[in-house]
Amino acid sequence: MKQMSGIAAKQRGFTLVEIAIVLVIVGLLLGGVLQGQQLIENSRVRSAINEVNGLRAATAAYRDRYGMLPGDDGLVAAVQARGPAWAAVLAGNRNGLLDGAAPAVNAAALFTTPATEVLAFWQHLRAAGFISGDPAAAAGATLPTSPWGGGIAVTGLAVYGWAVGSNKVCMNNVPSSSAQAIDTRLDDGLNATGNVRAFPGLLAQVAAPAQAAYAEPNTYTVCMIL
């Protein structure tokens, strides 16, 4: 009997107190991970907002210096004569709009092979020293990267219910919660109205998105008035 009692003692499992302690530790670890993920996402939202505000400031500074909208600035000979940094840049048609010229910009092209003016926008700001990067970069290589790994592009086309005539900066691959956070901090929190608008997936030209709440698990292209 004594031998049996010794074996039973060795095979004793965890007590309720020990199990409770383990569960508390696991809960704290999971809570810390989730809180850390939320902090990272909040940091990305702040970074995106700062990026847009920085582009607005750079665009205003460019206008003050040259009297033209970056990307729309021209003629090409005059622009390229400003110095070595300008030697390979494109020029716009000076109509005050980032209209892409030719070929026409479509949904994918804004983030892959930008046409003339939406490419020249980045080249001009870089050549002028207002943002970092190579002024001679072409096609998709010229686009900055958003905090979510997508692209940052500009357009003056009619998108999301905006008519032609307003210039926008757009980011794609933005998670729903982050898209709504950007919209709420900068505008009205609604994806179809105001100065911040969004659409699931790639940029959709002309058609406005339905008046609906941001929804998981969608990722969005978010556009803001420049």
Strand, coil or helix: 33: helix
Contact between 98 and 166 (Cβ < 8 Å): no
Q: Is 132 helix (H, G, I), strand (E, B) or coil?
A: coil
pLDDT band for 22, please (50, 70, 90 cuts): confident
pLDDT at 208 over 90: no
Residue 183 has pLDDT above 80, yes or no: yes
Q: Which CATH architecture has domain 2-225?
A: 2-Layer Sandwich (3.30)
Of 206, 203, 204, 184, residue with least CA distance to 195: 184
End-to-end Cα spacing for the chain: 85
| Residues 196 and 224: beta-carbon distance below 8 Å | yes
- pLDDT (mean) for 209-226: 86
Name the pLDDT band for 58 (thresholds 50, 70, 90): very high
pLDDT in the model for residue 7: 53
**For residue 1, is pLDDT > 70?**
no
Tens of pLDDT, residues 156-174: 888 888 888 789 999 999 9
Instruction: Give the dihedral sign, CA 110/149/170/52.
Output: negative
